[in-house]
Amino acid sequence: MIRVANNNNILVPVDFSDTANNALEHAVNIARVYNNEITLLHIIDENFFQSIFSSSQNDLMEEGIHGRLDKIIEGIKRENPGLKLHKRLERGKVYKVIAQVANDGNFDSIMMGSNGASGLERFIGSNASRVIQLSKVPVIVIKAKPFGEGYKKIVLPIDLSLESKQKVGWAIHVAKKFDSTIHIIYDNSNDEFLKVKIKANIHQVESMIAAQGVRYVSREIEDKIFENFASETLTYANAIEADLIVIMTQPETSIVSMTIGTLAQQLVNESEHVPVMCVNPTETGYTFDY
């Protein structure tokens, strides 16, 4: 979805569940638009399976998994002849392996289902945060919503947390490919100093988006009956039938980053339909090909 050095490969963890299959469908459509390659990754929880199966049974299981991956790849290639697909079978803790493979390999993003029927159900709760925090590349968490016509309505929540230009850049990058409208939302403050600071942030974001010719709307979330900004974001996203939420995440090492991390975790865990793109700040050179 973005050119970072020579990275042009989407990593898709698969456990053969409906949710994982939906994430793969999103990845295939994204790959067609951005000319990406896709790597299907299946992870065997080694500690779990070693305690149940013998060595020979493990070998048979691996053979079966390779066969299922090959069948999926063949089906995708029939409908998308020019698409390049790869497969990987790894062992270890699911969240650690996914992050390590993505960080060490030639990947620009991870696209994963959030509540698969088997292996990927481990992403719910704290494990989702671990994947997001460990990954150096953006993680797109796919929920129940099918790809449809793409990411036409993108929600971009802005607050007083550290907001990297990378987050806005990603939203613009997606919007330009899908002719999207970016919905900037923010929760204003009664404190005059904070209100001025929030308005300045919003103005800067609007200027960046407008400079790239992307449509946008800005909306202040005024209804305070909601419990927090994450709930407000989800309520707004559901109301407009959004196709994607773009947020910034950080490892939880400070008061500010804890706020961001909590927002990311809530959105990933509580969103029932809308995909969530989690962008971790990085010092590497992201260059957006607008």
pLDDT tens digits, residue range 198-246? Answer: 888 899 999 999 999 999 999 998 655 445 788 888 999 999 999 999 9
Fold (topology level) of 153-279? Rossmann fold (3.40.50)
Rounded to two decimals, the pTM is 0.85
- Which CATH number applies to 9-142? 3.40.50.620
- Asked whether this chain's domains 9-142 and 153-279 adopt the same fold, the reply is yes
Question: What are the residue ranges spanned by the domains of the chain?
Answer: 9-142, 153-279
- Residue 270's pLDDT band, with cuts at 50, 70 and 90, is confident
What is the Cα 50 distance to its own chain's centre? 31
Q: What per-residue confidence (pLDDT) applies to 232?
A: 86
**Residue from 140, 131, 220 nearest 173 by CA:** 140
Integer Cα distance of 109 and 7 in angstroms:
9
Per-residue b/e over 133-145, b at no fewer than 16 CB within 10 Å? bbbebbbbbbbeb
Burial degree of 105 (CB within 10 A; 0-12, 13-18, 19+): middle
pLDDT at 255 over 70: no
190 or 276, higher pLDDT: 276
pLDDT at 15 over 70: yes
pLDDT at 116 over 50: no
Q: Could you tell me the two tokens for 11?
A: 């990593």
pLDDT in tens, 18-38: 888 999 999 999 999 999 999
- The residue-averaged pLDDT of 92-120 equals 80
In the three-class reduction of DSSP (H, G, I as helix; E, B as strand; rest coil), residue 207 is classed as helix
